[in-house]
Amino acid sequence: MPSPSKILSKRSSTSSYAKAGVDVALGNRLKSGIGQLVRPTHGAEVLGGIGGFGGLFRPDFKGRKIKDPVLVSSVDGVGTKLKIAFATNRHDTIGADLVNHCLNDIAVTGARPLFFLDYIAAEKLEPTVLRQIITGVARACKAAGCALIGGETAQMPGLYHPGEYDLAGTIVGVVDRKQLLDGSRVTVGDSLIGLPSNGLHTNGYSLARKVLLETMKLKLSSRPQGLTTTLEAELLKVHRSYLPAFEKVATLGKKTLHAAAHITGGGLIDNLPRILPSHCDAFIDSTSWKIPAIFQLIAQGGSIDPLEMYRVFNMGIGMVLVVSKENEKQVAKLVGGKIIGKIIKGTGDVQLEPANCLTHSGKDYKKTSKSLGKL
């Protein structure tokens, strides 16, 4: 048992720390309620509970039928979409945004998630806000069969504005080496299947906020023309998880999917080259899908060049699958996607035609559709 002098010393130290802006007691209270949110994401592969120095996970590769396991990891955040959460005091979706973004980043390699860890930092952590964030993280992890095995909550006075926080996450998944998608299967003549996004996902919010809230002076509670919901609801739509689509394609055979690209920051123009061989280009018919109204609103409100729009935003396509020509219709129907282009001879770049398309939905631009068919 510690001596009275040691106890007094500890109290003095804690009080001094609190005066400096870090409430240790609050931190402990925050952690005490996390377990009940996290445990439902745990399965037999998770060893121990929450609160240790490290999360423990014993992967059952045999049970997963993986002979030559390759671990795939990714770390990411949600950018300035957080500013919308702060402004609306809604924090129940941002955690799911984080998980789904990370899920998609490893899914394009053929990997399936194993476990996830989160990081939350703020000037002062509010219990209700933290609970909302973790609820969203846990909900998305559970839906993906991904264990939430740990995280960090940090109080850093003087570094963040009051009422604001930063959020990041790390995911680890696994793929059998023979099924690894690295772009090497992509060949001239392959088809590109675009899977629809439900909005901005988690990219381009700095530009979107500047245009919508500063230039156009729109209220988050308003419903601008063309949108079917309020601006707040539109901007807080959860980043879509494409894991179910990958699982559906897998039922068609292990060699059906040649490659995949998660369309995040950089849009179609900067993300597709990451999976292209040096002798191939991706030809995109930008009239083959309908551009969602939110992107048209941003482009018009900010007088933004169409090509820049395609470099910043996903423009309605959140994931691109590369499959053989013979499988294009079957895959597109199975996953609810659109055939948006094909792989042609080139130098590892993207050809977007027409590059100024912001409103067409496919039937309006016959010239481009015909030229695509001739390639």
CATH ID of 191-374, from 1.25.40.10, 3.40.140.10, 3.90.650.10, 3.10.450.50: 3.90.650.10
Give the mean model confidence (pLDDT) for residues 322-329: 98
Architecture of the domain delimited by 20-179 = 2-Layer Sandwich (3.30)
- Least confident window among 121-135, 182-196, 238-252, 314-328: 121-135
- Residue range 122-134: mean pLDDT, rounded: 91
The domain locations on the chain are: 20-179, 191-374
In DSSP notation, 101-136 reads HHHHHHHTTT-EEEEEEEEEEESS--HHHHHHHHHH
End-to-end CA distance of the chain, in Å?
A: 81
Whose tokens are 């955040």? That residue is: 77
Burial zone of 214 (CB within 10 Å; 0-12 exposed, 13-18 middle, 19+ buried): exposed
* Residue 3 scores a pLDDT above 90: no
What tokens does 301 get? 């409100």
Average pLDDT over every residue of 318-345: 98
The predicted model gives 170-196 an average pLDDT of 98
Other CB atoms closer than 10 Å to residue 298's CB: what's the count? Answer: 24
Return the closest-CA partner of residue 122 out of 73, 85, 172: 85
Average pLDDT estimate for 313-323: 98
Residue 361 has pLDDT above 80, yes or no: no
Q: What average pLDDT does range 299-315 have in this prediction?
A: 96
Please answer whether residues 261 and 319 qualify as being in contact, where contact means their C-beta atoms are separated by less than 8 angstroms.
Answer: yes
Within a 13 Å sphere around the CA of 93, how many CA atoms are in the beta-carbon half? 20
Contact 198, 240 (CB under 8 A): yes
Comparing C-alpha atoms, which of 339, 221, 228 is closest to residue 293?
228
Q: What is the dihedral of CA 214, 220, 221, 222, to 10 degrees?
A: 50
Q: How far is CA 281 from the centre of its chain?
A: 25
Residue 15 is predicted with a pLDDT of 72
The 8-class DSSP code of residue 39 comes to G
* Residue 221 structure tokens: 């509670």
DSSP string for residues in 61-115: TTTTT-SSEEEEEEEEE-GGGHHHHHHHT--SSHHHHHHHHHHHHHHTTT-EEEE
pLDDT for res 6: 47
Encoded amino acid at 245, one letter: A
**How much of the chain is helix, strand and coil, in % rounded to 5?**
40, 20, 40
Nearest alpha-carbon partner for 201 in 131, 99, 275: 99
CB atoms closer than 10 angstroms to residue 363:
9
Backbone angles phi, psi at 305, to 5 degrees: -60, 135
Q: Cα(219)–Cα(229) distance, rounded to whole angstroms? A: 13
Residue 26 pLDDT class (50, 70, 90 cuts): low
CB 151 within 8 A of CB 49: no
Tell me how long the chain is: 375
Helices (H), 280-357: 293-302, 306-312, 328-335
- The residue with tokens 């998609």 is 104
In the chain, % of residues over pLDDT 70: 89
Q: Mean pLDDT in the chain?
A: 90
